[in-house]
């Protein structure tokens, strides 16, 4: 078993929550509470009661709950990129590498017992339900200048690199990479809440269906583009 501490943009926090017991408790229980009640109803007062601390102590780590949400989403993006790097490390065949990437996009949600204070399965539900709120807001340009979304950009760049290994002439690698990530989350959300918007059966093996969906669109698009070129 190994311990993982991901590097998250320091502009997102006042004190690194991964470095202290209280900080890790804040991360652990904020994930559980946002999943339980949603971002709108979640606040630091409720979190302080849950962890037996004070609002002031939480504010010593995060400026507000929006920064906390962006931190959590960044953690998930960095965790996915870390897992992709591990999974493709010894794969040379471009197609097998792309299939491994698609698998990581879907199965990053699986719990990892080596990271006791982050429940990846629950965090994934937050990313699906609340993740777009991290950057769909009026402050996105300012936040972008402060580097809040560098982790997402790095993740898309890594996936785009694997796409280009399969088809060096493909003109939209970053577009496809971000669409793969958004498609995976959207269709999990649709399957549960808006089933007429997807062909993913929410009553079946959703992760497997989403992996097949991503593979179908991605591989066919790259193949057709290569043929037409």
Alpha carbon distance 75, 129 (integer Å): 16
pLDDT, one tens digit per residue, over 72-130 is: 999 999 999 999 999 999 999 999 999 999 999 998 877 776 788 999 999 999 999 99
Residue 2 pLDDT > 60, yes or no? no
What Å distances lie between residue 1 and 38, 117, 197, CA to CA? 32, 15, 41
pLDDT at 229: 55
pTM > 0.85: yes
What is the band of 226 on the pLDDT scale with cuts at 50, 70, 90? low
Question: Which contiguous run of DSSP H or E holds residue 65?
Answer: helix 65-88
What is the band of 1 on the pLDDT scale with cuts at 50, 70, 90? very low
Alpha carbon distance 118, 29 (integer Å): 9
The one-character DSSP state at 133 is: G
Mean pLDDT of the chain: 93
The one-character DSSP state at 34 is: H
What domains can be seen in the chain, in order of their start residue? Answer: 10-228 (1.10.357.10)
Q: What average pLDDT does the segment 122-144 reach?
A: 95
Task: Name the H helices within 89-205.
Answer: 94-107, 120-130, 140-145, 150-166, 173-193
pLDDT at 98: 98
Only one residue has tokens 């560098």, namely 150
The one-character DSSP state at 14 is: S
CA 81 distance to own-chain centroid:
9
pLDDT, one tens digit per residue, over 166-213 is: 999 999 999 999 999 999 999 999 999 999 999 999 888 999 999 999
Return the biggest CA–CA distance within the chain.
Answer: 62
Residue 223 pLDDT > 50, yes or no? yes
Q: Contact 148/178 with Cβ under 8 angstroms?
A: no
Residue 132, classified by CB atoms within 10 Å of its CB into exposed (0-12), middle (13-18) or buried (19+), is middle
End-to-end CA distance of the chain: 47
Alpha carbon distance 99, 82 (integer Å): 16
Alpha carbon distance 137, 7 (integer Å): 24
Residue 5 pLDDT > 80, yes or no? no
Phi then psi for residue 52, to 5 deg, are: 70, 40
């Amino acid at each position: 078993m190994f311990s993982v501490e991901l590097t998250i943009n320091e502009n997102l926090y006042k004190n690194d929550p991964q470095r202290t017991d209280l900080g890790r408790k804040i991360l652990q229980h904020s994930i559980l509470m946002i999943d339980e009640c949603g971002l709108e109803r979640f606040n630091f007062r409720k979190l302080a009661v849950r962890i037996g601390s004070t609002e002031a102590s939480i504010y010593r780590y995060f400026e507000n709950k929006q920064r906390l949400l962006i931190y959590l989403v960044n953690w998930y993006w960095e965790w996915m990129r870390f897992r992709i790097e591990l999974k493709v490390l010894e794969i040379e065949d471009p197609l097998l590498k792309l299939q491994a990437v698609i698998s990581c996009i879907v199965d990053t949600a699986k719990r990892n017992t080596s990271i006791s204070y982050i429940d990846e399965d629950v965090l994934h539900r937050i990313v699906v339900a609340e993740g777009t709120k991290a950057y769909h807001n009026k402050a996105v340009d300012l936040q972008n200048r402060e580097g809040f979304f560098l982790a997402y950009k790095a993740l898309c760049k890594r996936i785009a690199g694997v796409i280009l290994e399969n088809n060096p002439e493909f003109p939209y690698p970053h577009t496809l990479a971000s669409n793969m990530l958004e498609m995976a989350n959207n269709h999990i959300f649709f399957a549960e809440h808006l089933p007429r918007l997807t062909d993913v059966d929410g009553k079946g093996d959703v992760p497997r269906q989403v992996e097949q969906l991503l593979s179908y669109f991605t591989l066919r698009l790259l193949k057709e583009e290569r043929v037409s070129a």
